[in-house]
Structure 1
């Protein structure tokens, strides 16, 4: 059994494309793409729920890993793309956060919100 696994591994590693798809250089970024996908989907949500601290942390995180992805040998462009998408989404969220909480966006949204009209309740006869 061990020789079968060893021969299969040798066959996979001898083919460059198969070797790439069976490596952490592929599966790490591929599984990490959930973060930027969620971040892009969050750009459609209400800006009131954006955490400024978390957005800043994710911006720094993605910037560091974009740098790391091209500093390693071999360069990992899939990891770079993953964090580039996340960096763009987080910068968008950061802009939305600042606009909403610090540049009058919240006040504007509250002013444009439809006013609820209280309807009088008719008294009931007992």
Structure 2
């Protein structure tokens, strides 16, 4: 059973043999950097950068649910990026 589940994952159209898997996977690095920036003073954060990250994340989250096949890796990384960017914008505004 585990072998068949792995084989389904491996051969999935958005699986690890495609860029549709690896691009969102490496995009998690941006989220990690954004979380690490939570220790920075708010005056060192950039409105344009955080706004661009938040807007693009919302756009990609929507896109990932309408393409075929649905790309849940891209959806989850985009939702996380939107959340961290909005949090950083909130810190900057206060």
Per the normalisation by structure 1, the TM-score is 0.63
Q: 1:17 aligns with which of 9, 12, 30?
A: 9
- Which residue of 1 is the match for residue 93 of structure 2? 98
The offset of 1:88, in angstroms, is 0.6
- Which residue of 1 is the match for residue 43 of structure 2? 48
Bigger CA radius of gyration: 1
Q: Which structure: greater helix fraction?
A: 2
Structure 1 residue runs of 5 or longer lacking an equivalent are: 1-14, 100-126
Q: Distance in 1 between matches of 2:48 and 2:16?
A: 36
- Which residue of 1 is the match for residue 28 of structure 2? 33
Q: How many residues align?
A: 85
Higher relative contact order (CA 8 A, sep 6+): 2
Per the normalisation by structure 2, the TM-score is 0.83
Structure 2 residue runs of 5 or longer lacking an equivalent are: 1-6
Which contiguous aligned blocks of 4+ residues in structure 1 show a shift greater than 6 angstroms?
A: none
